[in-house]
Amino acid sequence: MAQFLVTGGSGFIGSHLCRKLLGEGHGVRVLDNLSSGKRANLSDVAGDIDFHEADLRDEDAVQRAVEGVEYILHHAAVASVQTSVEEPLIEQQINSVGTLNLLEAARQAGVRRVVFAASAAAYGNDPRVPKREDMRPTPESPYAISKLAGEYYCGVYDRLYGLETVCLRYFNVYGPRQDPASPYSGVISIFAKRMLNGLVPFVHGDGLQTRDFVSVHDVVAANMLAHQVESAQGQVYNIGSGHRSSLMDLLTALNAVLSSDIQAEFVEARAGDVRDSLADISKAQSELGYRPSMDLERGLREVIEWMRAE
């Protein structure tokens, strides 16, 4: 079995990755500054994880975290578009420079492969759908720029230094342990929490903007494939469901799951948000063997069940 470093491992996606890796018998180390992640997300497996509480900007801490590691699943980031708009310098230091720190430490430590959590935000407001990996990036926010910079750094380290990298452009990830109170949360967890409590959800804009909602379980599966498939080295892949839903579609689906009839309250659109998003996942399907398995209705039921249990 291999030794993995999961950056951002106490966060939403990272905590799911850690459990998957442990379940397959791998060694797991986590690097997380707990700015958005929670130790509680790993409470049941904490004894099996080598936890390093540190920031990506701390070069010495990053170097210690990568020692003896074969694979890195890099998910630590400021993951909020709105936060990046409000605090662009801090966001760039963590996402762009932090990723560069990690890649350099990985190169020096002889890490075999880094899987980078990239973002569909790279496509910006290009009106063409579905989004294909060969489309020209048109980032619309500091967050999107930082994630795209991470991709470029990964590509350079792969070609120039021989550090294997794979970039996964996530679309709208949702699932259990996505904290609806966090500014980093997706619209599904926020809507679900409010509606579960009988409250009206706030829709920014007209609600007709579309998103490709992908279950965290499918994202975990994509990471497992990305670190294993030899031919994936140096590649960028869309990771989504291959289907899109408007925010009004989401509201209808949640009402169906909850057996409710809650209407939305419309508020001003947010700066930096994209209008339409849909992944062309054919490259990931053909080259990685990626097959999304969770449809939106089943995924929403899982989220609601988790929230009720919490």
pLDDT at residue 184 above 80?
Answer: no
- 271 vs 171, which has greater pLDDT? 171
Please tell me the predicted confidence (pLDDT) of residue 135. Answer: 98
Contact between 167 and 236 under an 8 Å Cβ cutoff? The reply is: yes
pLDDT classification of 103: cutoffs 50, 70, 90: very high
For the chain, give the percent of residues with pLDDT over 90: 92
Average pLDDT over residues 78-84: 87
Please tell me the predicted confidence (pLDDT) of residue 58. Answer: 98
Task: Tell me what the pLDDT averaged over the chain comes to.
Answer: 96
Q: In this structure, what CATH number is given to the domain that contains residue 304? A: 3.90.25.10
- Judge whether 285 lies within some domain: no
3-class DSSP string for 216-240: HHHHHHHHHHHHHCHHHCCCEEEEC
Q: Do 110 and 181 belong to one domain?
A: no
Average pLDDT over residues 240-256: 97
Angle between helices 247-258 and 296-309 (to 10 degrees): 60
Q: What total number of domains does the chain contain?
A: 2
Of 19, 2, 11, residue with least CA distance to 221: 19
Q: Do 267 and 160 belong to one domain?
A: no
Average pLDDT over residues 192-205: 96
pLDDT at residue 80 above 90?
Answer: no
Q: Do 120 and 187 belong to one domain?
A: no
Q: What is the CA radius of gyration of the chain?
A: 18
- 80 vs 226, which has greater pLDDT? 226
SS3 of residue 99 by DSSP: helix
pLDDT tens digit string along 9-39? 999 999 999 999 999 999 999 999 999 999 9
Task: Give the pTM.
Answer: 0.95
174 counts as catalytic: no
pLDDT tens digit string along 131-154? 999 999 999 999 999 999 999 999
Residue 199: give the domain boundaries.
174-211+243-278+293-309
Average pLDDT over residues 111-121: 98
- One-letter amino acid of 237: Y
> At 305, phi and psi to the nearest 5?
-60, -40
Q: Do 199 and 71 belong to one domain?
A: no
Q: Do 203 and 113 belong to one domain?
A: no
148-157 in b/e form (b: 16+ CB < 10 A) is bbbbebbbeb
pLDDT tens digit string along 276-303? 899 999 999 999 999 999 999 999 999 9
Q: Do 188 and 54 belong to one domain?
A: no
What stretches of 139-287 show up as alpha helix (H) in DSSP? Answer: 142-161, 187-196, 216-228, 247-258, 282-283
Q: Do 78 and 159 belong to one domain?
A: yes
pLDDT at residue 272 above 80?
Answer: no
pLDDT at residue 107 above 80?
Answer: yes
Q: Do 139 and 222 belong to one domain?
A: yes
Please tell me the predicted confidence (pLDDT) of residue 310. Answer: 85
Average pLDDT over residues 45-72: 98
pLDDT at residue 183 above 70?
Answer: no
Q: Do 254 and 297 belong to one domain?
A: yes
- Judge whether 97 lies within some domain: yes
**Residue from 143, 153, 170, 237 carrying the catalytic annotation:** 143
In the numeric block, which tokens belong to residue 259?
């057996």
pLDDT at residue 55 above 90?
Answer: yes
In the numeric block, which tokens belong to residue 20?
């998957």
pLDDT tens digit string along 256-270? 999 999 999 999 998
Q: Do 179 and 140 belong to one domain?
A: no
